[in-house]
Amino acid sequence: MRYVLQLLLIIAFSFMGEILQHILPFPIPASIYGIALLYGALQLGWIKVKHIREVSTTLIMAMPVMFVPPAVGLMSTWNEVADNYIKYLIIIVTSTFIVMGTSALLVQSIIGKKDNKNKNNETTNNA
């Protein structure tokens, strides 16, 4: 029963993401809205990680299976892709490095702000 409740909780956030996608005029997938809402709820303490741990771990373990259909689709359309595979490879590598670099800069910025906040709190507490 615990697993069913955990899955229903995750599905509820996914459903809220679907609703937001239809309400908001931005070209953002509903799954991203759902993940953002779940993240927000976890950060605000409305939901604890222990409330979704088992099901989320199972879903993450099953994730590689989700890549099989796109791989099969790529194999079935290889004749069309083969002519431009160098262009696709360049785009994939370039966009991967851009995403990695942007993510790294964002994480460093967040960590830096958190460190500065902790230093300010320590200074205030010591004074």
CB 6 within 8 A of CB 54: yes
pLDDT digits (tens, 9 = 90+) for 11-24: 999 999 999 999 99
Q: 104 pLDDT exceeds 90?
A: yes
CB 38 within 8 A of CB 31: no
Q: pTM of this prediction?
A: 0.56
**Strand positions, DSSP E, the chain:** none
pLDDT digits (tens, 9 = 90+) for 48-102: 998 899 998 988 888 888 888 888 887 888 888 888 889 989 999 999 999 999 9
Which residue in 46, 55, 57 sits closest to 2, CA to CA?
Answer: 55
DSSP 3-state assignment of 52?
A: coil
For residue 110, the model assigns a pLDDT of 85
Per residue in 28-41, is it b (16+ CB within 10 Å) or e — as a string?
Answer: eebeebbeebbeeb
